[in-house]
Amino acid sequence: MRLSPPARCIAVTGFMATGKTTVGRLIAEKLGLDFVDTDELVEANAGRTIPAIFEEDGEAHFRDLESAALRQALGRRGRVVSTGGGMLLRDENVAELRAAGPIVCLTAAPEEILERVAGDEGRPLLNVDDPAGRIARLLRDRAEAYARADYHVDTTGLTQEQVADRLIDALAGDPRARWLCGSRTRVPVQVEGGEYDILVGSGVIDKLGDAWPAPECGRRAAIVTTDTIGPLYAERVAAALRDGGWRPTVVEVPDGEASKSLEVFGEVCDAFADAGLDRGSTVFALGGGVVGDLAGFAAATYMRGIDLVHVPTSLLAQVDSSIGGKTAIDIGAGKNLVGAFHQPRAVFTDIDVLSTLPDAEIRSGLGEIIKHACCFDAEMFAFLSERPHVFAEDDRAAREYLVARNCQIKAEVVAADPLEQGVRAVLNYGHTVGHALERGAREWGLRHGEVVAAGIVAESRLAVELGVSDDETAARQERVIAAMGLPTSVSGVDVERAREALLRDKKIVNGRLRMPLVPEIGRYVIVERVDIETVADAMLTVLD
């Protein structure tokens, strides 16, 4: 299932006496969402009861008030909105509801409805001589309108609790509503010889021991982390692992790229041996990209390879580097020159840790998210365009969607090309220029997400120059980057050094390069034999 942006609200409607208000309230309570009933809102706004409005101003006026109340109810995110049974009669209401999220319609057998409403005076539509006939007619009249709902539950013979539970089950599988259901998202990753899961959600690190228990009680495990992340989360992870039967040891390394050295690598492996890790042990990599690379390489090579579980704590690691099985350390001759492909057995991506990240750390990961949106997902691109500051909003559903959807995209690319021999090239969008900018920077000030953003701007212009794309497509990319607070051009870069770095790109063959470019938002093409001088010209346009 392709993951879609979170619904704003869940609408519960249906015929009278099907329990939509009570069930809506129950659902809201179970999911920790707010609850609004449009009938109550109409009455509160008007200062009159609905029977009074019907009597004094007629049904048409009530329907106007009802539409206004609906717009008001849908105005905030994260609500369960229950609406009167006639709400679906108006097209404009249906459009509003559709845009906001899934529509659930409750029904019941006519006899049961009649029984439920017996003696209820507050139902103006049933103040007639033949209520049973009236119910049957109304049901017939509204059948078409009710068919417009996404989910239908026949409540006949069910308790309201049972109806609520059925609905939550259905909504947890809905591409948009799932985010409101508090369910964790499982993103499966196909790799050679098997499959593993990325579990994305709130509080998943506390579930590590349940989800990845020790093969036998007391088996040793290592949590590799940094002196920045360790104090925040290592004890929580260790406690979760102890619950799962592990005897975990925390191995802390200094924060920063310098820890990706042979020396620190050796210390980590020595620590594994000292802690008694054996072939049945697991290494838990708790941290950002540096920890993932270092601990991943240690897990890949300690005793010729033991199990690895990633617990990424930076946005960049969550949406990019924890997926794909690449591990590496740096040697004197260069960064990432020594490494291994070692697929994790699982990835636990806790979106709550993003709350503690400084803004700069968030920005670091945004470059890859924009890259994925440009190349693969117009819907996510539109979502980012509408809500460029989404990560500052503290909206759990939105975060879970963005992280999970980006994991899903990366996982699909990796599955298609596990050893980085073909289509994985698409992941390089924005990076050819981005890497050159990084190398040309006069000092360490540019974040990865920032150079990638500027790289995307340059490469989107290159696509126009090559006739692969058009001005508007390039402009849209630039606009979303700017809106998200990322640079569309960079300063402090030495032009000559950046140019040299570009010309030394290892992928160049005879002055030409194979590059992924974006012909329209959400789609990529791999363009063969791009002249490197043309790329250099495009790079110049993003240098201040």
Contacts of residue 358, defined as CB under 8 A and 6 or more positions apart, other chains included, come to none
C-alpha to C-alpha distance for 354 and 337, rounded to whole angstroms: 30
Report which secondary-structure segment, H or E, holds 384.
Answer: helix 378-386
CB 476 within 8 A of CB 503: no
CB 16 within 8 A of CB 88: no
* Shorter beta-carbon distance to its own copies: residue 269 or 414: 269
Applying CB under 8 A, which of residues 194, 218, 332, 467 lies at the interface with its own copies? Answer: 332
Tokens (6 digits) for 282: 């697991």
DSSP 22-91: HHHHHHHHHHT-EEEEHHHHHHHHHTS-HHHHHHHHHHHHHHHHHHHHHHHHTTSSSEEEE--TTGGGSH
Tokens (6 digits) for 12: 């519960």
Residue 519, CA distances (Å) to 22, 123, 473, 525 in order = 50, 57, 7, 7
Of the listed 77, 372, 399, 448, which one is catalytic? Answer: 448
Binding mask 191-230 for its own copies (x = CB under 8 A): ----------------------------------------
Considering only the stretches 116-124, 159-167, 336-344, 526-534, report the one whose residues sit in contact with its own copies under the rule CB under 8 A.
336-344
* Shorter beta-carbon distance to its own copies: residue 358 or 421: 421
* Shorter beta-carbon distance to its own copies: residue 297 or 381: 297
Confirm or reject binding of residue 258 to its own copies (CB under 8 A).
no
C-alpha to C-alpha distance for 68 and 235, rounded to whole angstroms: 51
Binding mask 448-487 for its own copies (x = CB under 8 A): ----------------------------------------
Confirm or reject binding of residue 416 to its own copies (CB under 8 A).
no
Applying CB under 8 A, which of residues 52, 99, 143, 262 lies at the interface with its own copies? Answer: 262
Tokens (6 digits) for 406: 């980006």
Confirm or reject binding of residue 339 to its own copies (CB under 8 A).
yes
Confirm or reject binding of residue 328 to its own copies (CB under 8 A).
yes
Annotated catalytic, 152? no
Tokens (6 digits) for 147: 């068919």
Applying CB under 8 A, which of residues 269, 407, 457, 490 lies at the interface with its own copies? Answer: 269
C-alpha to C-alpha distance for 383 and 398, rounded to whole angstroms: 10
Annotated catalytic, 410? yes
CB 360 within 8 A of CB 447: yes
Annotated catalytic, 98? no
Residue 350, CA distances (Å) to 207, 307, 353, 425 in order = 10, 20, 6, 28
CB of 335 to its own copies, least distance (A): 11
Annotated catalytic, 435? yes
Annotated catalytic, 61? no
Applying CB under 8 A, which of residues 92, 111, 195, 278 lies at the interface with its own copies? Answer: 278
Confirm or reject binding of residue 303 to its own copies (CB under 8 A).
yes
Stretch 480-539 residues interacting with its own copies (CB under 8 A): 506
Confirm or reject binding of residue 47 to its own copies (CB under 8 A).
no
Applying CB under 8 A, which of residues 257, 263, 393, 471 lies at the interface with its own copies? Answer: 263
Considering only the stretches 260-268, 316-324, 359-367, 435-443, report the one whose residues sit in contact with its own copies under the rule CB under 8 A.
260-268
Contacts of residue 118, defined as CB under 8 A and 6 or more positions apart, other chains included, come to none
C-alpha to C-alpha distance for 233 and 235, rounded to whole angstroms: 6
Annotated catalytic, 406? no
> Buried b / exposed e across 390-413, counting CB within 10 Å, b at 16+?
bbeeebbbbbbbbbbbbbbbbbeb
Annotated catalytic, 304? yes
Of the listed 431, 447, 476, 499, which one is catalytic? Answer: 431
CB of 507 to its own copies, least distance (A): 11
CB of 279 to its own copies, least distance (A): 9
Cα angle at 181 between 180 and 184, to 5 degrees? 105
Whose tokens are 């845009």? That residue is: 99
Considering only the stretches 48-56, 136-144, 268-276, 396-404, report the one whose residues sit in contact with its own copies under the rule CB under 8 A.
268-276
Q: How many other C-beta atoms can be found within 10 angstroms of the C-beta atom of residue 124? A: 16
Cβ-in-10-Å burial (0-12, 13-18, 19+) of 131 comes to middle
Of the listed 66, 252, 368, 400, which one is catalytic? Answer: 368
Dihedral angle sign, alpha carbons of residues 295, 3, 375, 541: negative
In the chain, what's the furthest Cα-to-Cα distance?
Answer: 92
Of the listed 25, 342, 372, 435, which one is catalytic? Answer: 435
Confirm or reject binding of residue 376 to its own copies (CB under 8 A).
no
CB of 425 to its own copies, least distance (A): 14
Residue type at 239? A
CB of 262 to its own copies, least distance (A): 5
CB of 535 to its own copies, least distance (A): 21
Of the listed 342, 371, 410, 447, which one is catalytic? Answer: 410
Which positions lie near its own copies, rule CB under 8 A? 262-263, 265-266, 269-270, 272-274, 278, 297, 300-305, 326-328, 331-334, 337-341, 506
Give catalytic residues, as residue numbers: 304, 326, 368, 410, 420, 424, 428, 431, 435, 448
